[in-house]
């Protein structure tokens, strides 16, 4: 399946301006804005979060830190083809299918990503900087013979994405110290033996308030409910319906600007996975791999972009959480590949 206009539009924020594709709150090329589709407009309005509270308004806005230089990668490590250019690759139109041999490689990359993410989570403590987390992630991936996929992707300067509090996604690790009560999403992608494994999780830092804990809990539940609906022959739109129903029940909004994607030899490809209600066509096929990675917000589902061109934060400063797994579609269900 390919990206089709006018139903959806590939967006990029400055400084990455796509030829003839428009611009907006984005970063990775799998960031797609779904235009309103008739009767879906009313349904999608229910996806705005209503959980903002006076307690959340007291939280200080996320502050910029100092970004250190990119970390070196030994010459013997195999690099993805986009490394060395600041151009963001177009989302590939091919559906990535796997045979027994390639599934073995996919599992290896995904298992490494899962182990790295689990380790990164143990570092989440007050006073630890996201730059320290980046260094630890980088070392673990390199030591395992892999390459940190975000590094050099469209000019991204770090080896992992760290998105704190109101940051929806693509936060750049820097010198800011984590604070008691923060929530942080760590997004790890590993390139190993020619295959990408992609996963993320939102972690609690220190003593976190109950509304924030609920946001994190429900976001993970949304992802898992969506995965449980996946199998050969199932419509992709069922993913968005499952996520939206559960999020709305708890008063959270489903962010529409950022989507899941096919993953394998190519970092980002079709199919595009919408996490909100939608009427997009397409069915899952046994042997394909893609990510499901919903972002939920307590308030606004719209984002503002920082000047770095990557960091996307909620427009009203409300908290956002995200979880992600890479899955393999089978005849009877879906296998989560990014598990330890």
Nearest to 328 by CA among 97, 41, 111, 69: 97
198 in a labelled binding site = yes
> And the tokens for 91?
């989302």
Contact assessment for residue 133 and residue 162, using Cβ atoms and an 8 Å cutoff: yes
> And the tokens for 210?
């109950």
268 in a labelled binding site = yes
Pairing relationship of beta strands 195-204 and 147-148 according to DSSP bridges: unpaired
What dihedral do alpha carbons 50, 23, 13, 262 form, nearest 10°? Answer: 80
List phi, psi (to 5°) of 167.
-75, 120
98 in a labelled binding site = no
Cα–Cα dist 217/12, whole Å: 30
Residue 278 makes CB contacts below 8 A (sequence gap 6+) with 34, 37, 40, 237, 240
Contact assessment for residue 263 and residue 198, using Cβ atoms and an 8 Å cutoff: yes
324 in a labelled binding site = yes
Chain centre distance of CA 112: 17
187 in a labelled binding site = yes
Cα–Cα dist 78/192, whole Å: 8
Nearest to 186 by CA among 160, 212, 208, 222: 160
330-333: which pairs have CB atoms within 8 A and are 24 or more residues apart? Answer: 330/231, 330/232, 330/286, 331/231, 331/232, 331/286, 332/231, 332/232, 333/228, 333/230, 333/231
Q: HSE on the CB side for 22, CA within 13 Å?
A: 14
293 in a labelled binding site = yes
138 in a labelled binding site = no
Binding residues for substrate: 170, 268
Binding residues: 170, 187, 198, 261, 268, 293, 324
Binding residues for a divalent metal cation: 187, 198, 261, 293, 324
């Amino acid at each position: 399946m390919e990206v089709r206009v006018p139903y959806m539009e590939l967006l990029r924020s400055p400084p990455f301006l796509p030829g003839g594709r428009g611009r907006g709150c984005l970063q990775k090329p799998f960031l797609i804005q779904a235009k309103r589709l008739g009767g879906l407009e009313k349904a999608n309005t229910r996806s705005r979060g209503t959980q903002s509270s006076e307690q959340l308004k007291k939280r200080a806005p996320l502050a910029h830190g100092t970004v250190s230089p990119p970390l070196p990668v030994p010459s013997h490590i195999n690099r993805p083809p986009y490394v060395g250019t600041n151009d963001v690759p177009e989302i590939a139109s091919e559906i990535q299918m796997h045979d027994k041999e390639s599934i073995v490689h996919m599992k290896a990359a995904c298992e490494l990503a899962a182990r790295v993410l689990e380790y990164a989570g143990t570092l989440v403590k007050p006073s630890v900087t996201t730059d320290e987390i980046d260094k630890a992630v980088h070392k673990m991936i390199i030591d395992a013979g892999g390459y940190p996929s975000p590094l050099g992707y469209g000019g991204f300067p770090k080896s992992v994405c760290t998105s704190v509090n109101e940051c929806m996604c693509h936060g750049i690790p820097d010198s800011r110290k984590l604070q008691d009560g923060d929530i942080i999403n760590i997004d790890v992608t590993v390139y190993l033996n020619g295959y990408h494994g992609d996963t993320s999780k939102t972690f609690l830092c220190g003593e976190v308030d109950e509304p924030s804990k609920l946001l994190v809990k429900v976001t993970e539940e949304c992802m898992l409910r969506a995965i449980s609906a996946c199998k050969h022959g199932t419509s992709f739109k069922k993913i968005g319906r499952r996520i939206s129903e559960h999020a709305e029940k708890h008063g959270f909004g489903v962010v529409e600007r950022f989507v899941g994607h096919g993953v394998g030899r190519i970092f980002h490809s079709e199919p595009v996975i919408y996490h909100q209600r939608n009427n997009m066509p397409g069915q899952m096929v046994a042997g394909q791999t893609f990510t499901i990675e919903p972002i939920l917000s307590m308030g606004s589902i719209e984002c503002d972009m920082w000047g770095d061109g990557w960091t996307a934060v909620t427009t009203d400063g409300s908290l956002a959480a995200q979880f992600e797994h890479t899955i393999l579609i089978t005849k009877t269900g879906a296998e989560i590949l990014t598990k330890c």
